[in-house]
Amino acid sequence: MMELLIALSIGVLVACGVYLVLRASTFPVVMGLTLLSYATNLFLFAMGRLAIGVPAVIRPDATVYADPLPQALVLTAIVIAFGMTAFAIVLALKARGETGSDHVDGEVDS
Amino acid sequence: MDFSSINLPLAVLLPLMGAGLTVWAAHFHRVASAWLAGLVTLLALLALLPSLLAVFAGETLIQSWAWLPAMGLDLAFRLDGLGALFALMILVIGLLVILYARYYLSSKDSMGRFFAYLLLFMGSMLGVVLSENLLQLMVFWEMTSLSSFLLISYWTHRSDARQGARMALAVTGGGGLALLAGILLLGQMAGSYNLSDVLLAGDQIRAHSWYLPALVLIALGVFTKSAQFPFHFWLPNAMAAPTPVSAYLHSATMVKAGIFLLARFFPVLSGTPEWSWLIGSVGMLTLLIGAYTALFQHDLKGLLAYSTISHLGLITLLFGLGTELAAVAALFHIINHATFKASLFMVAGIIDHETGSRDMRRINGLLKYMPHTAVLAMIASAAMAGVPLLNGFLSKEMFFDQAVVASNTSMWAWVIPALATLAGVFSVAYSLRFIHDVFFNGEPINLPKTPHEPPRFMRIPVDVLVVLCLAVGMLPMFTVAPLLAVAVQGTLQAPPPEYSLAVWHGLNVPLLMSVIALLGGVAVYVVRQPLFTLYEERVKGQQLRHVYDWMLENLQAFARFVTQWFDRGSLQDVLFWVLGFTLLAGLAGFLSSTAPLLGGRELLPLDGVSLAVGSTLILASLLSVVLHRERLVALVVLGAVGLVVSLAFVKFSAPDLALTQLSVEIVTVVLLMLALYFLPQYTPRISSVWRKWRDGLLAGALGLGAALLALAVMTRDTATPLADYFLANSVPGGGGKNVVNVILVDFRGFDTLGEIAVLALAGLGIFALLQQIKLYVPTEDSGGRAWSAEANPFILQMFSRILFPLMLMVAVYVFLRGHNLPGGGFIAGLIAALAIVLQNLANGIAWTAQRLRFDMHQWLAGGLLVAAGTGLVAMALGYPFLTSAFTHVHWPLVGDFELASAMFFDTGVFLVVVGATVMILVELGKLSRVGASIPKEGA
């Protein structure tokens, strides 16, 4: 039943992320992106199936391991997501400086 | 690797590389670029020379290297008789055009740019005619379209040049797409994209059910490029180009590229009724329309442009007739047309240059102002008209002869020689107009300049070409015969048929047709005035370019209409569309699947702690949405979500991920906190209730979809466990027990290199964005209290300084053990970056910068260099890029230690991660200190 819990978490993260990404101000959009990247990372990770208490490194006595490939993919994805979040938020700062508005479309009457 | 095995690609590459050099040379002296262009052309000719001799001895040369063999793409070059003919035309006429253009261009024109474009075109064109691989040919084909666009629009300040260039690109580029499809079909039918195989597969291809579509698609490419009806209208509009370009591209070479393909595929595609009907009738139509329209042009270059269209139609018609002798005539006419038409364009350029006008109604009686040029022009025009003792006569006789032969094929085929003669009549008439109107017919009317002879060297290229017209016309056997013979052999891929190049064939039907054409042409010219009036009234307005313009306008209107619907300059709208279509695509996937939603995999038991933690995640996410207006609170909740995610990684046996997520979570929250200082603390209510519901429904549906998809996958077993490979090969192949890290730095090292490059670019991009940024700096917090200007808290300062070496030691430890235990460059980099950021936070940026004198740009560059360098070392040792090696060494005290080259790569990763993270946070942090000089919020 652990799978159901994780699937539910992914679903909620996606829904919250999408809702925030669709807001009109910059900061919620960046928060939404962060939530969406959590969701994506968890989703990718879950593609390797869930495993509890199995070794993560090669051991002579072990036969079952966690799937290392999604883990490697997700590891870099986490770092890249940080780079993207940083870029987005700085873009928001720049946009506010240039347009005088915190609105994602640069509308002044916000 | 000796010279004779690489000279074909070298000849193609020389002009392409020379293009860059001419721009550089033009910085020193504008004429230097012309000299260099000429030199490069000569060198390319020299590079081809040994191979040309071999081809004349009957060989076909192929030089090829495997490129993407799985896709049938080789880097392959071929030189046979047909290629040799075209390569010679491209290079020899190219050389003459370069000499001519050096005098043609005025001091205001940039020579470097002109010759760079010209060489770019020359290289692309050589690539087309020397390609053995058809996909490679296609690349060069598109390059000729692009370089032609650049050349036509060379005078960028003129709107007719820009429009002409755009039209040429649209028509030839569109044809290029059709050609690509045709060639793909051809390659599939023949089972190979190499010409040698395709040329042998003729029977198989003609019997294939795809033959007709392939033929039509290839014909579309040919017709657009070679200005055949109904696509011919771009060529007259391309005359806005400088005249050397018109002489070179739009008469001698590029427009012949389509014809070249007809010749190239002649043994493969010809010989069917479809071929004859399609190619033959389009050729005939083009021949007639071109010849007829040419007579009524008042612009010198316009006349020559339509004449070119007509002659291209003639060549196409000959190939369409499909007999071997017709192909001989076509090839012969290609040579002759290139010589007389290039010289005529050059004469037109000289007249334009020396009189300031190209309008034949004003340019009259130039004979006494420029007698030498006049004689040259008259000879070349006579060759164009097909007057005996000139080269145009010989190939035209052959054409008439083939038209007569074709008239025996069916009851209605007598129209072929009849129409051919009619086209001959018009061709004589417009040639006569070119001579009579320009050089006789009274005095010049109101010209901007007093005409005189051009500079001597500007005339030399015309001299050379006209001498060629005469020599070929009078002594064909001693001049053109060997070249024609190898070209015929290369085209037919068989021994050439019997043909005679004699000037006199006795009294026969073709001669009679020539006489009719000459007399008829004179007669038409004499009665031209009423014909002109008729043309002005009835025909002139009905041009195909109006159809083109109409289509273009409607296309643009349609594009605007669609864009207005989807893109109103609003990020919210665009995101809504993207997410909405994602939902639809996912829905389509679910609905089209017949499999049950859940699989049969045994599920893991749920325990109370997990349930509590999971519920925390869900509640925190929802809370971050509910509270999102209070930005600081929402940010703290967001941090909690990230922490729970890292706990999930701990639970499900992914310690590397947990460590990474934990450290990234901290830097992300610090980053957003820093940025929030410059943004409003609260989010205003903007969205309408309707929009909130709409977004909420979309979000809910997408969340449900993601959850169901994840559940569907997780309840099934993996079909093909990729993991087994990595688990089995990690220790023997990569020398590390931590499979995740071995994948990152070894198996998928190339991906990781790309990823750290992205990270470095994000860091640099942020650095660039923050330069001279205008910021809104708040003076008070959300509660109305003034921001404290106090120094950093003392206790944090002290603790952070003690922590710093400890954190760095942890980073080093995590880094070193990364290959065998959870850790590695990414995690160590994040920990080290946190250590540095903590110093900045606790002690201030100035204090830290004094003590840690690192330039993070150098860390980024150094990291990328180390990572890429590790891969290059492997290449230098003869292994593929980023191949790793490892060995075990024994260090005293430390013990048995494994040294892998992947560790150097991981060092690169470490440096980039530290560099990017610290750069982003410190640059952002610096801003709050300079804030005082920037406009305040609300000011």
C-alpha gyration radius of chain A? 19
The residues in B 599-628 lying below 8 A from A, measured between CB atoms, are 601, 603-606, 610-611, 614, 617-618, 621-622, 624-625, 628
N-terminal to C-terminal alpha carbon distance within chain A: 46
Check if B569 contacts A (Cβ < 8 Å). yes
How many residues in total does chain A contain?
110
CB contact under 8 A, B654 and A42: no
- Per-residue pLDDT, B896: 61
Residue A15 to residue B916, Cβ atoms within 8 A: no
Q: So what's the pLDDT on residue B934?
A: 45
Do A56 and B822 count as a contact with CB atoms less than 8 A apart? yes
**Is B575 in contact with A21 (Cβ distance < 8 A)?**
yes
Cβ–Cβ of A28/B683 closer than 8 Å? yes
Tell me the DSSP string of B604-654: PPP-HHHHHHHHHHHHHHHHHHHTTTBHHHHHHHHHHHHHHHHHHHHHTT-
Chain B within 8 Å of A64 (Cβ-Cβ)? no
Instruction: Count CB atoms within 10 A of the CB of residue B70.
Output: 6
Label residues B762-793 b or e (16+ Cβ within 10 Å = b). Answer: bbbbbbebbeebebbbbeeeeeeeeeeeeeee
What is the structure's pLDDT at B73? 84
Q: Domain A2-51+66-99: which CATH class?
A: mainly alpha
Please check whether residue B427 is in contact with residue B292, taking contact to mean a CB–CB distance below 8 angstroms.
no
Residue B655's closest CA among B844, B846, B823?
Answer: B823
C-alpha span between B751 and B534 (Å, rounded) = 70
Interface subset of B 720-749, CB within 8 angstroms of A: 721-723, 726-727, 730-731, 737-740, 743-744, 748
Which residues 11-40 of chain A have a CB within 8 Å of chain B? 11-31, 34-35, 38-39
Residues of A in contact with B731 (CB under 8 A): 58
More confident residue, A67 or B260: B260
Give percent above pLDDT 70 in chain A: 97
**In Å, how far is A88's CA from the nearest CA of chain B?**
9
Is the CB of residue B833 less than 8 Å from the CB of residue B914?
A: yes
Which residues in A lie closer than 8 A to residue B766 (C-beta atoms)?
86-87, 90
pLDDT score, position B542: 65
Question: How high is the ipTM of this complex?
Answer: 0.95
Long-range CB pairs of B369-375, under 8 A, 24+ apart, other chains included: B369/B444, B369/B450, B369/B451, B369/B452, B369/B453, B370/B451, B370/B452, B370/B453, B370/B454, B371/B453, B372/B453, B372/B459, B373/B347, B373/B453, B373/B454, B373/B459, B373/B462, B374/B439
Low-confidence ranges of chain B (pLDDT < 50): 931-939
- Binning chain B into helix, strand and coil, the percentages to the nearest 5 are 75, 5, 25
Q: How far, in Å, CA of B399 to CA of B175, rounded?
A: 28
- Claim: this prediction has a pTM higher than 0.90: no
CB B240 within 8 A of CB B352: no
| Run of H or E including B161 | helix B159-190
- Contact residues for B32 (Cβ-Cβ < 8 A; gap 6+): B25, B26
- The answer to whether A44 contacts chain B (CB < 8 Å) is no
Of B470, B500, B493, the residue nearest B329 (C-alpha): B500
- Arithmetic mean of pLDDT, A31-59: 90
**Which phi and psi (to 5°) does residue B786 adopt?**
-65, 145
Integer Cα distance of B256 and B242 in angstroms = 19
Q: What is the CA radius of gyration of chain B?
A: 37
Task: Please name the residues between 294 and 353 in chain B that touch chain A, using a CB distance below 8 Å.
Answer: none
Distances (CA, A) of B479 to A38, B87, B469, B731: 77, 18, 10, 73
- Phi, psi (deg, nearest 5) at residue B475: -125, 60
| d(C-alpha B307, C-alpha B286), whole Å | 10
pLDDT score recorded for residue B935 = 47
The residues near B140 (Cβ < 8 Å, ≥ 6 apart) are B12, B124, B125, B127, B128, B131
Q: Which residue has the higher pLDDT, A32 or B929?
A: A32
Chain mean position to CA B554? 26
* H or E element in which residue B429 lies: helix B415-439
CB contact under 8 A, A46 and B710: yes
Q: Supply the pLDDT for residue A1.
A: 82
